[in-house]
Amino acid sequence: MTATTTAVQDLYPTRGPAEVITPRRDPVVWGPPSPGLESYERDGFLTDGHLLTDDETETYRTELDRLLHDPRLRTDERRIVEPRTQEVRSVFEVHKISEVFANLVRDERVAGTARRILGSDVYVHQSRINVKPGFGASGFYWHSDFETWHAEDGLPRMRTVSVSIALTENHDTNGGLMIMPGSHRTFVGCAGRTPRDNYKKSLQMQDAGTPSDEALTRFADEHGIRLFTGAAGSATWFDCNCMHGSGDNITPYPRSNVFIVFNSVENTAVEPFAAPVRRPEFVGARDFTPVR
């Protein structure tokens, strides 16, 4: 039987017998009006071409290399590999594995921006490094993060923001992030039930929780598609309900980004709305301690 919560109303039904379209019922910017957040309100994202200095970027890239070669992580379930090549695809909970990345999470340029957008203290719902080595690293199919976090982690409201910080240059050819601007204002409740332990498959290849071709075509026609490029040290902030994805990286040039998800402490997870069981805490945190 699907586990749901009776204490919190489900404003965004999903994973039912048919696809359901629901207009957004939450603010985009929860805090007071703030300079620089106009594009985030309108499009669902904003960019910073120089969030980190060159020296800072090199520090984080060195730490990434250390984690990728740390023998203690070889059998850790937080280390996700490509199904075909067995190369590292993602490393989760990097703010707990590494004090270097914990410092990045606490950086006021990072956590402070999340507080401005969400209008409250924040905690880390998820952190990871997405590693896209060259010559065949697979992409991430079109999806809304909130659809998964609502269905499988139990986040009640759209009060969550992600930041993707480039540790290598993001070219227009090496599997960069694509977002449909304005798609954050409409929720696509996907058809189909959530398999038990779906995360074991979805962290390698998204399947459950993906919109229909018809819905994606309609969104693309209405909103267009923006491809994000930028130098190492640049960042993209985006709303939890943005329709986004990325292609395979078949170039020789790796693309590695650190990805941090901040959730409001006033929007803590309950039981999953459309999944048999909770996902593990390294994917969807149950520690709601505010970032300080």
**pLDDT at residue number 1:** 31
**pLDDT at residue number 201:** 60
In which band, very low, low, confident or very high, does the pLDDT at 5 lie, cut at 50, 70 and 90?
very low
In which band, very low, low, confident or very high, does the pLDDT at 4 lie, cut at 50, 70 and 90?
very low
Residue with tokens 């010559």: 135
In the sheet that holds 255-264, the strands lie side by side as 45-48, 235-239, 160-166, 255-264, 122-132, 88-92, 79-81
- Has this prediction a pTM greater than 0.75? yes
**Cα separation of 146 and 258, whole Å?**
19
**pLDDT at residue number 33:** 86
**pLDDT at residue number 207:** 66
Q: Which residues pair with 227 in a beta bridge?
A: 178
pLDDT tens, position by position, 100-135: 999 999 999 999 999 999 999 999 999 999 888 888
**pLDDT at residue number 206:** 61
Q: What is the Cα gyration radius of the chain?
A: 18
Residue 19 has pLDDT above 90, yes or no: yes
In which band, very low, low, confident or very high, does the pLDDT at 85 lie, cut at 50, 70 and 90?
confident
pLDDT tens, position by position, 233-246: 999 999 999 999 99
